[in-house]
Structure 1
């Protein structure tokens, strides 16, 4: 397959007037100094993230490896950490290109870390280690597209190996340690959900990318892509010299790294910057210092300047200053100006509206500071002057845990009980030979009664594929949480709406921690609206919540039926993702003819579908009509008062009741 040239992507050619943009620069700096810890690329779809990463291997110098070694051991390594060793002094050496290993989202831990060679175990009765993707990525690049959709324990495994430079595998009767030094590159679309702050911190650098907004640049991107599709060889030939110049400059920078001095003054400045931005832990300081040194080497210097520190801080610190899950990462130039002197010879790259040459990508990496919000929402200039500003939420609290009834089989998460690939083992079931998670004891127990018939007299156990048993595990799954919010006039009182939004924000934070997908349906006036289709981006849901208007009559039936339609569509897309409805209302139904009767019919319909529901009762005052409680009965839902969404409030109630009983 013909790969697109690295230097043909807008913003990825250091010889062009615009130089390297943040994404290309972050990739190059990681290649120069892999100890930086990789790069996370955040951005909308179609911005050349994958194109640029795949093209990276073409500009890297080739490497020498020991011939026949499965772990890409460097022949110059004095004490190679390879299970295929030890090696002879005159071992054969071969030269090959740097590998790019792509990790699929659905990969299992066995596939990533390695496990026993099952076929050889069955045929020979011996235990042999089958290397995983991390062994293949040693001395190369590990590319994880949509890293935010990967299971947390796999992300931890990858980042631990990248930080330690080695991997130890202990399972199924084997214990193997091998080298695993690679540059990890993760890409993600924030609209699909965020990485947790503790995982964000493990990536060395983070950059934001966006497609160009100027027509001239967009036209140039398309022109280059069309030329590449028409004549890949000719197109690549046009950029061959630029690719070679970049490759040579990277080699020189790698050699220069040993000469770059990180002085005490530089370390003190780095510490001041990290402290001023409230960076937790010491990883940010270490990565910033390493990045500054790599940038100095890239610029041909052996002394670190203020320009190197500014670039390093811009790439290494934005994602580390997030204080809670709903804070957007970012670092402004004005904030840096207060801590570091202005650039003394280096200016941030400006996009070239008329770049030379025919090359380009099927997108472009971001221009600095111009990455748009994934959910801009209505701006203040577009709001109606006489319309009151939406009421904001208060400080979120620890929310009560709501779960889906029964035992599911969805994606691993932290909410409802489910059969998952992780968790405690509760049994075993027949398994295919290619399956993972083999239950060794049950496999042996199944094969034992047939040993005489299979001719075994002594020695190793004779196994067949039909003997294999897979472990059945019970853990927790993620769910689809649909918030159905009454924003009619009866809910529009400022204090009540603030309480409602605070409760929903607290539940959103809980959903973020439990890896759920969330959606938002609102109803007011004469109809319902899907304010946010189901998404993994809880950040977007929180922003939509702030902008919710309120007022008008209460079309409760329309809100419930719109929710039922969302559930139906999502079930067609992913039957294993079980829904949980959180209906936030005072139970009134005032819109349309026979509003109360139609709302009860809609509630009965949801109950007949077997959908787990929670009705959060927002009714207040001395004279309560109990409409929300009646709605919960028709929906076969759990009824909860608004104040009881707060887990601490429930704890206080139980504690007070216990004290009264003791008295």
Structure 2
């Protein structure tokens, strides 16, 4: 069955252009496609592979070496000049979210290395993607260390595997394409910056376009080959244009005037580092080649900036990506020379080129709070987030890689070894040699090599950090809204959300007010969604503390089934009052008793004023939780307290 044709996809001109430019010049750095589910992101990426020119590869080379310029360090080489070769189509290699590191970068056969003294390297997905496309669907759900590995290989053009003193390196030049749904969480800014281009996609609200999308999809499912045949000529023409642009690319010149425009634009948008300038320049050159020009113009710089800069303007995880078209045009005009060049369209020469609507402008930060889900008082905005204390889950877990609590992970410091079959990881050379050494005589060792059996293999046991489920249980009753307390509370919770983002946690939000509790945000890795719900939180009514704790317990039970390895941290944000019903205090104590000893908890005490009842501290005792006044959530506050205690003892 033939894949869905590239030219049959309706709309999305920005994505179409970004993919084409990355195909023309892989040095651009690939494309990150951001968008809601069901917008044909994966369909278009998979269709792109059919448009790329075929590649000549050396026969029997597992690393797809070019017969004209083979990799001198190829593990299957060295390849002699004029080695037999064949032509094959460009590959699209898909990397699954749950792939292990060895599957991605390759692995070494430790047994053969010890016994025969040879390096037996089994190539991974990076080798398979060399000179083709590497596609990562839901790249934001991939483990951070794997994303780092991918982006390093894409930037350097090589992949290196090092295991216990044995090192293997091979060429890995590919076009990296990642797709993600921002609702499921964001990539770290450092990782966002490593993608060359980014495109925001969304489904059209035009009924006619939606009808055409459904019509074409149903036609393809009814007769895939026949449908693909209808667009074969258009796909072939587009493929020929891409190949022509690739041939023209080395001849395109980047004049100083265009370089000054690029520098002016990047400085105007205050992007960090110099990667933005380099990527914008490469993209402008690729766009000029795509347009059939041999010199970069203002039009090329404009298009390049719209694709290369939006994701580099984020200052924190709660900022929306995007650039202002007015600011872009002003920066281009500011960098214009006194007189327009012969190939330049001049400043303000019209609307942006064809390629779709520009990404929506973003001013950074959060939207001002307004509306809300109802309540006796309007929502109160949060202040600027600060660096929060790190709260850890007790014990040692085995959850997803992160930066909060201690855990047994694939990466980290080695704390011991374990035999094969328990929980395999990276082989431990010294422990394997020790296990095999006592048996050499009985195994009839005669040469220099070590006789190793599978039962001798030992693997490193490593301790690192894991990400946790941080469930916020927030009191939204009238007592919390009094004396402008909610501003301070929201600022502290926002700071803890930022901390959760940096530590790769999953977050959820339970609120309670009036006569009950609700799950305002089911557990998700999208901390900006939690920040949005928090921003619209209104206060009012009585304090059903028991209902809030019971709802939190219910959510934790469900998540224990869905994600059993991710250990929870419950953060209860309240002043400790329980005023919903005659037996509210007793029911709250009973609810706390159900959670005590089963989950690590923190009670953030929001009580203020001179007359304090200490109810939040009592709640912490019933929960077996750490009691933290809201003013002591900041890490700097904790450090100051420690310094004061040390100074007091010294005095």
Which TM-score tier does this pair reach, normalised by the shorter chain? over 0.9
2:503 matched to 1:497? no
Inter-partner Cα distance in structure 1 for 2:448 and 2:71: 37
In structure 2, the CA distance between the partners of 1:381 and 1:434, relative to structure 1 (3 Å rule), is: closer
1:342 to partner: Cα distance: 3.4
- Give how far 1:326 is off: 1.4
Q: CA deviation at 1:157?
A: 1.5
Aligned counterpart, 2:602: 614
Note closer, same or farther for the CA distance 1:625–1:445 as it changes in structure 2 (3 Å cut).
Answer: same
Q: Match for residue 344 of structure 2?
A: none
Q: What's 2:420 paired with? A: 431
Q: Distance in 2 between matches of 1:474 and 1:3?
A: 44
* 1:22-68, Cα deviation, whole Å (9 max, x unpaired): 11111100010111011111111111111111111101111111111
Match of 1:342 in 2: 348
Pick from 608, 621, 642 the counterpart of residue 633 of structure 1.
621
1:209 and 1:371 in contact (8 A); partners too: no
Quickly say closer, same or farther: Cα 1:4–1:118, change in 2 above 3 A.
farther
Match of 1:103 among 73, 95, 107: 95
Which stretch of structure 1 is more off in the superposition, 564-573 or 152-161? Answer: 152-161
Q: Distance in 2 between matches of 1:219 and 1:123?
A: 64
Aligned partners of 1:274 and 1:348: how far apart in 2? 22
Q: Which residue of 1 aligns with 2:128?
A: 136
Q: Counterpart of 2:591 in 1: which secondary structure?
A: helix
Give 1:159's aligned residue.
151
Counterparts of 1:231 and 1:119, CA distance in 2: 50
Distance 2:642 2:81 in 1: 72
Following the alignment from structure 2 to structure 1, what is the Cα–Cα distance between the partners of residues 373 and 367? 11
**390, 403, 412: which one aligns with 2:392:** 403
Shift of 1:621: 1.6
Residues 1:66 and 2:82 aligned together: no
Deviation at 1:383, TM superposition (A): 8.5
Deviation, 1:305, is 2.2
For residues 362-400 of structure 1, the C-alpha deviation after alignment (integer angstroms, 9 at most, x for no partner) is xxxxx654799xxx999968998x975411111111111
User: What SS class does the counterpart of residue 493 from structure 1 fall into?
Assistant: helix
Change in Cα spacing, 1:585 to 1:387, as seen in structure 2 (3 Å) is: closer
Displacement, 1:177? 2.2
| Between 237-246 and 321-330, the greater mean CA deviation after superposition | 321-330
Instruction: State which of 78, 86, 97 in structure 2 corresponds to 1:94.
Output: 86
Q: How many correspondences in the alignment?
A: 634
Within the candidate set 593, 601, 612, 1:624 is matched to 612
Uncovered stretches (5+) of structure 2, i.e. residues with no partner: 333-346
Task: Assess if the C-alpha contact under 8 Å between 1:616 and 1:642 holds in 2.
Answer: yes
Q: Matches of residues 143-292 of structure 1 in structure 2 within 5 Å?
A: 143-292=135-284
Distance 2:377 2:629 in 1: 28
**Alpha carbons of structure 1 residues 453 and 660: separation in structure 2 relative to 1, 3 Å:** closer
Q: Displacement of 1:205 after TM fit?
A: 0.4
Task: State the match for 1:295 in structure 2.
Answer: 287
User: How does 1:510-549 map onto structure 2 within 5 Å?
Assistant: 510-549=499-538
TM-score (norm 2): 0.93
1:470 to 446, 449, 459: 459
Deviations 1:476-517 (A, max 9, x none): 100000011101011002531011001001111111110000
Question: Are the counterparts in 2 of residues 524 and 555 from structure 1 also a CA contact under 8 Å?
Answer: yes
1:646 corresponds to: 634
Whether 1:572 and 2:564 are equivalent positions in the alignment is no
Q: Would the alpha carbon gap of residues 645 and 380 (structure 1) be closer, same or farther in structure 2, given more than 3 Å must change?
A: closer
Q: Which has the higher contact order (CA 8 A, sep 6+)?
A: 1
1: CA distance between counterparts of 2:516 and 2:422?
54
Give the alignment partner of residue 440 of structure 2, picking from 451, 474, 480: 451
Residue matched to 1:4: 4
Report how far residue 468 of structure 1 moved.
2.1
Instruction: Specify the SS of the correspondent of 1:201.
Output: helix
SS in structure 2 opposite 1:429?
Answer: strand
User: What residue number does 1:359 align with?
Assistant: none
**Distance in 2 between the 1:128 and 1:299 partners?**
46
Task: Decide which moves more: 611-620 or 458-467.
Answer: 458-467
Cα separation, partners in 2 of 1:600 and 1:173, compared to 1, 3 Å:
same
Mapping for residues 27-46 of structure 1, pairs under 5 Å? 27-46=19-38
Deviations 1:586-636 (A, max 9, x none): 10000123000100000000115x100000111112221111111111111
SS at match of 2:521: strand
Matches of 1:249 and 1:614 in 2, distance apart? 61
Q: Unaligned stretches of 5+ in structure 1?
A: 12-19, 351-366
Give the Cα separation in 1 of the matches to 2:494 and 2:352: 43
Aligned CA-pair RMSD:
2.3
The 3-state SS of whatever aligns with 1:492 is helix
Asked whether the 8 Å contact 1:306–1:344 carries over to 2, the reply is no
Distance change >3 Å, CA 346–CA 275, structure 1 → 2:
closer
Q: Verify the 8 A CA contact 1:403 1:416 in the aligned structure 2.
A: yes
1:170: how far off?
2.3
Task: Output the CA distance in 2 between the equivalents of 1:173 and 1:213.
Answer: 57
Q: Which residue in 2 is equivalent to 1:361?
A: none
Q: Secondary structure at the match of 1:26?
A: helix
**Secondary structure at 1:266's aligned position in 2?**
helix
* SS of match in other structure, 2:303: helix
Contact 1:29–1:298 (CA<8 Å) still a contact in 2? yes
Distance (whole Å) between structure 2 residues aligned to residue 91 and residue 542 of structure 1: 59
The answer as to whether partners of 1:210 and 1:370 remain within 8 angstroms in 2 is no
Contact 2:376 2:540 in 1 (8 A): no
Q: Sort the Cα spacing of 1:381 and 1:623 in 2 relative to 1 into closer, same or farther, 3 A.
A: closer
